[in-house]
Structure 1
Amino acid sequence: MNLDAFAKLCADHGVQVVEIDLTQSLAPQGPFDVIVHKLSDVIVEAEHDNQSQQLLANFQSYVSAHPSTVIVDPLPAMTQLLDRFASYRLMSKLHNSLRDWRICSPPYLEIHSDTDLPSIQEAVRNQDLSFPLICKTRVAHGSLSHEMSLIFSVGNLADIHPPCVLQSFVNHGAILHKVFVIGDKHFCVERPSLKNFPSGPCDRKTIFFNSHQVSKPESSSDLTALDEKMPCLPPPSSEAIAALVRELRLQLGMALFGVDVIINIRTHTLTVIDINIFPGYEGVPQFFSSLLSHIQSVLNKPSSTDLQDTDSLTTGGPSTTTTNL
């Protein structure tokens, strides 16, 4: 993001923006009223990298010593979205809480380790997954998280690399709806997506692809070109999207995230296929002003301890604060 442009917008509203250097002690760089961050890379790398562990420790040390500083978003909330096992369990619960809106998520299976192929095949049958299957890495952040595959038969389950998630592929007319959430505001942007495939197992070889390349705004790929004439699908209901966002904000306790949804071409059901940490917000022209509005609302909230209930926030007048992006 263009940090200079955002800093100028904030300065015009009495908000001072400072870029934090995590390699140094945070205390002399502060004090901070609000810290906006995307530490997902650091959290993932801290599992195996000593330098990243130290950066994270510096951050957590400051947060512990300054409980009044508002963190957007809390690290525990972000951490659960870095693990597709955790986020998909959350998605599966949407069936009950959002049943009236006809919102669901596809059946899925967690593959924890390199077990024998017959055991994986049996688990797929027991979970009522349907071919083709889409395979995704367990870690939901970083370049490798975009490397996915489409599996068309039981035999081709040998192509997976655990730990990973297997998810029934839902035909959706090659259209992905990316929902970008910024506090109590959300925006829906249409992107290209995977084309339709015949349902059921077949002898087609596994297709390996990068989802980042397939669903970019300017993407052009054989994988997104429909083989047949598709009747226009209805756009997602704005009321259903709003209900979905409210429920996820309640469950996640987060203000900055994205949701990938598709429309099932057969049932027209709104189907949630992924949740993303602090997405790129490409195609959202109001991002800077919406982010500033959320920061102001957090600062003007009587009690900043309940970060989950940001629907009731109101934007007040200019405040003097320091925040990091």
Structure 2
Amino acid sequence: MSGRRVGFCLSDKKRRRMDLEAFAVYCEGRGVELVEIDLTQPLVHQGPFDIIVHKLSDIIMEAEHDSQSQQLLANFQSYVSTHPDTVLLDPLPAMARLLDRFASYQLMNNLHNSLRDWRICSPAYLEIHSSSDLPLLNNSLSFPLVCKTRVAHGSLSHEMSLIFSAGGLADVSPPCVLQSFVNHGAVLHKVFVVGDRHFCVERPSLKNFPSGPYDRKTIFFNSHEVSKPASSSDLTAMDEEMPLLPPPSSEAVAALVRELRVQLGMALFGVDIIINIHTHTLTIIDINIFPGYEGVPQFFPSLLSHIESVLDKQASESTQTTGGPSAATAGL
């Protein structure tokens, strides 16, 4: 691995949360040079890179309406396309797909067939493009409903609401997703994926609610605040008589991660899962791009190990072919 250069392109917030400086020291001790990429400067002068690890969610979203972000993204894509031997972790199209809950929820829904043997599912949901879609609520959805923004990125993506009746739909702000709420004993299981490895961490979550519809004001909440490791609020307080649910099957979680890696073509992502208190079914409620890995054991060794394995695989394939692997798929 000696002499390899790893480029990192992260927002300031992500860089701090990941403690990139500490990771750079860790990599240096193993003969790997970590380079922080400045998108405002030509990448060709900052390279060469054997691999680029990035989270360009901010840039991708801002490029929809900001010309400066459009240019930064275009420059990045131009560099990647003209340096096909540089591995991109993860592919931009895959990341863009997860930024749109309409697209990611369709993917979650389709997983039901391929993972049926593992009793894995996702809640019924409805895409709300405009207010005219609200009358389309059908028998597949049941109150309470969780309302989430369409954009699965940024602070606003954590702002959600719990709606208990048709009257509460007046609080919906399209475009958004309505998802049937599943009682899960106030326990969320966050799965953090790093290549072939994954880690499952238990977090607080919303308490159980009676099935609706019934007359109750909409509850507005921030999912990040509710599910922080030390979170404690009325929304997460459970009745002491509630029996403990079994943890998700490690085999089922492994099967889910394998399938998602294939379907997404990604190596760095997270999955939020809950256990239905009635059926004990493993239920997927969200997929996250390059989540915060705080508190995940062995994150640095796991990430560097994956980077090494990807580059070793590329080197092996390059000795067998003249073209080498495509940067668009090398993250698999």
**Separation of aligned partners in 2, 1:269 and 1:114:** 32
Of 101, 104, 108, the residue aligned with 2:118 is 101
Residue in structure 2 matched with residue 81 of structure 1 by the alignment = 98
Kept in 1, the 8 Å contact 2:52–2:87? The answer is yes
Deviation sequence 1:36-91 (CA, Å, 0-9, x none): 00101111111112221121112111111111100000000100000000000000
- Residue 308 of structure 2 corresponds to which residue in structure 1? 296
Task: Give the unaligned 5+ runs of structure 1.
Answer: 312-325
Q: How many angstroms apart in 2 are the aligned matches of 1:158 and 1:92?
A: 26
Q: Residues of 1 paired with 2:43 and 2:112: CA distance?
A: 43
Of residues 271, 274, 278 in structure 1, which corresponds to 2:286?
274
Once residues 279 and 83 of structure 1 are traced to their aligned partners in structure 2, the CA distance between those partners, rounded to angstroms, is: 16
Mapped partners of 1:49, 1:209: distance in 2 = 29
Counterpart for residue 50 of structure 1: 67
CA distance in 1, matches of 2:47, 2:328: 22
**Would you say the 8 A contact 2:272–2:287 is kept in 1?**
yes
Amino acid at match of 2:130: S
| Counterpart AA for 2:152 | A
**SS of equivalent residue, structure 1 residue 18:** strand
2:128 match = 111
Deviation at 1:307, TM superposition (A): 6.9
Deviations 1:202-253 (A, max 9, x none): 1000001110100011211111111452101001000000000000000000
> Does residue 216 of structure 2 align to residue 195 of structure 1?
no
Normalised to the residue count of structure 1, the TM-score between the two structures is: 0.91
TM-score by length of 2: 0.90
Q: Counterparts of 1:92 and 1:287 in 2: how far apart (Å)? A: 29
For residues 234-283 of structure 1, the C-alpha deviation after alignment (integer angstroms, 9 at most, x for no partner) is 01000000000000000000000000000000000000000000000122
Structure 2 residue 55 is the aligned partner of structure 1 residue 38: yes
Query: Which amino acid counterpart does residue 60 of structure 1 have in structure 2?
Result: Q
Please state whether the residue corresponding to 2:146 is helix, strand or coil. strand
> How far did 1:181 drift?
0.2
Cα distance in 1, alignment partners of residues 145 and 161 from structure 2: 8
Q: 1:249 touches 1:308 (CA, 8 Å); kept in 2?
A: no
Q: Which moved more, 1:82-91 or 1:7-16?
A: 7-16
- Identity across matched positions, percent: 78
Structure having greater relative contact order (Cα 8 Å, sep ≥ 6): 1
Asked whether the equivalents of residues 87 and 330 of structure 2 are also in contact (C-alpha less than 8 Å), the reply is no
Q: Does 1:91 align with 2:108?
A: yes
Correspondence for 1:305: 326
Aligned equivalent of 1:24: 41
Q: Is the 8 A contact 1:254 1:307 kept in 2?
A: no
* Matching residue of 2:12: none
One-letter amino acid of the counterpart of residue 137, structure 2: V
Q: Secondary structure at the match of 1:162?
A: coil
Contact between 1:81 and 1:277, CA under 8 Å: does it hold in 2?
yes
> For 2:134, which of 90, 108, 120 is the aligned residue?
120
Is it true that 1:236 corresponds to 2:248 in the alignment? yes
Structure 2: how far apart are the matches of 1:56 and 1:279? 21
Q: Secondary structure at the match of 1:125?
A: coil
Residues in 2 aligned to 1:309 and 1:64: alpha-carbon distance in whole angstroms: 13
Secondary structure of the residue aligned to 2:138 is helix
Q: 1:257 aligns with which of 264, 269, 274?
A: 269
Match in the other structure for 2:194 = 182
In the alignment, what sits opposite 1:65? Answer: 82
Give the match's secondary structure for 2:178.
Answer: strand
AA partner of residue 193 (structure 1):
S
User: Secondary structure in 2 aligned to 1:129?
Assistant: coil
Q: What is the count of residue pairs matched by the alignment?
A: 306
Give the Cα separation in 1 of the matches to 2:253 and 2:331. 17
Query: Where does the alignment leave 5 or more consecutive residues of structure 2 unmatched?
Result: 1-17, 318-324
What SS does the aligned partner of 1:222 have? coil
Q: Which residue of 2 aligns with 1:315?
A: none
Q: Secondary structure at the match of 2:285?
A: strand
Q: Summarize the Cα distance change of 1:309–1:238 in structure 2 as closer, same or farther, 3 Å threshold.
A: farther
**Inter-partner Cα distance in structure 2 for 1:3 and 1:308:** 25
What is the deviation of 1:310? 6.9
Structure-to-structure mapping, 1:141-220, within 5 angstroms: 141-220=153-232
For 1:168, give the aligned amino acid.
S
The CA distance in 2 between the partners of 1:228 and 1:155, in whole Å, is 32
Runs of 4+, deviation exceeding 4 Å:
306-311
